Structure 1
């Protein structure tokens, strides 16, 4: 399968209204917004290109126009790919919640069955003792006490009966408590099952949304490739170069922008100051020190993880992938570091970042080293994760229509973590 050469979420910004128009069209196509239909941009004809080449001023204007159209196409594809990644991550997270709810429902159902069995035994014990007491009462203890010549013996029997009554009450109370416990667990099991069913239905809806977003993404990328090929040819004609050189130049600019964004990324935020003793306001305090950086990566673990991921190159993307023949982003990173004996979290980019950050393994994007994980997203929610190889390269399972690949860093990763630190 040929790879589409697009870099999602590029920092190269279109200079015309085309980007807004095109992104709006893609957004509408994946059901994120409704609204009026937008006109397609006015692509130049070859006749216009030939005419523009005759006049230097017109030629420069046409070169600028082609650059804007290329940037707009890239922005459209980038927005569609990002939307597809976000939809896939949302679906994966709901599947994790559904599976957790299923596990909870199964556990509660088993506990409810066991509690019901205990309650039944308690009920039978209380019933047997009650029947025994009733039988003793039928023997006429009161009349025996009145007419017997052995009152001490009868009093002893009465004392035993009293103790049996107390025992009967204890057993009754225990049986009632066991029944209440079984009923409560049964109710919890029903609620957990209902929650699992709700999440299963939500996952089905999100799966459909993910498929629609993926289709829109692939259509946008295909449109970008088709249109860009001709635009690069036209640009090459105006500049007396080749389409391949023009493509390399534009993609090189995008890669340089992504690498510059990495170099300028902010440091890992410091933790918030702890509250004052007693729960009061902490009051004035010096600014907290930044969290300590994780240890340098364990190169053996890093290379084991990268070797595993490299063995998956060329395999198709699918979400959720089966982590064998198909892969998604977090499935690949989880399996790669699992091969190195390192647990990085569940099958979710968001969970993997927070798992590693909770272990003190978050690092600044600008400090990322070979083997670190890069995350795309923001606000504590991440929709993509990849293994950083160093030198501006990543190893990733990117998106529908593409395969596991080694690729130049794209866009603006917003967070990083060091699993082998």
Structure 2
């Protein structure tokens, strides 16, 4: 592995290759046409503490995490559900869970939000939980939680699969809940 880099906002160390990936991810875009996240910030104002919660099946959660992160940079495409063709938000979730765990999930973000499984409080999120966004009680977007308040998702036309922080102003304002798929 490469030399470690220190991130002053998190106090963690990561290999330089990972540091470069995170910078690229934060600069990218993802989701539906109506999703307009705020530009990435060096430090997120009002950032919450994100306790590390051990998933019920750490091996399965890790495989979901690694596959989701490996797809960062894949182009957004409405209705897309493959790395070659691009992804929309629920297409990404479906692809990752099917590819890594042979688990078939509902296709839309709304149906995923209604899918079986307990709702999760933000402070109890574990790797591989699904996080949902919308307004007025309507779920319009979904991502995969990766830890430390971050999630991978496919946000908007012209963008790519990327990593964002739940404490970003857009995401915090439109957060509508989370579900645990792995039990």
| 1:376 and 2:138 matched | no
Q: 1:391 to 1:3 in 2, by over 3 A?
A: closer
Which residue of structure 2 aligns with residue 394 of structure 1? 151
1:350 positional shift: 0.8
Q: Which of 337, 342, 348 pairs up with 2:103?
A: 342
1:345 positional shift: 1.5
Which residue of structure 2 aligns with residue 327 of structure 1? 87
Partners of 1:7 and 1:320 lie apart in 2 by: 17
Q: 1:83 to 1:308 in 2, by over 3 A?
A: closer
| 1:310 and 2:69 matched | yes
The TM-score, its normalising length taken from structure 1, stands at 0.31
Equivalent residue runs for 1:1-400 within 5 Å = 5=27, 84-85=34-35, 251-252=42-43, 255-257=44-46, 259-260=47-48, 296-325=55-84, 326-339=86-99, 340-346=101-107, 348-355=108-115, 359-400=116-157
Partners of 1:314 and 1:296 lie apart in 2 by: 26
- List runs of 5+ in structure 1 lacking aligned partners: 9-80, 86-216, 226-246, 264-294
Which residue of structure 1 aligns with residue 16 of structure 2? none
The TM-score, its normalising length taken from structure 2, stands at 0.67
| 1:416 and 2:178 matched | yes
Greater strand share, 1 or 2?
2
Greater helix share, 1 or 2?
1
- List runs of 5+ in structure 2 lacking aligned partners: 1-23
1:392 positional shift: 2.0
- Report 1 or 2 for greater relative contact order, CA contacts < 8 Å, sequence distance ≥ 6: 2
RMSD: 3.3
Rg comparison, structure with higher value: 1
Partners of 1:390 and 1:4 lie apart in 2 by: 15
Q: Do the aligned partners of 1:342 and 1:420 also contact (CA within 8 Å) in 2?
A: no
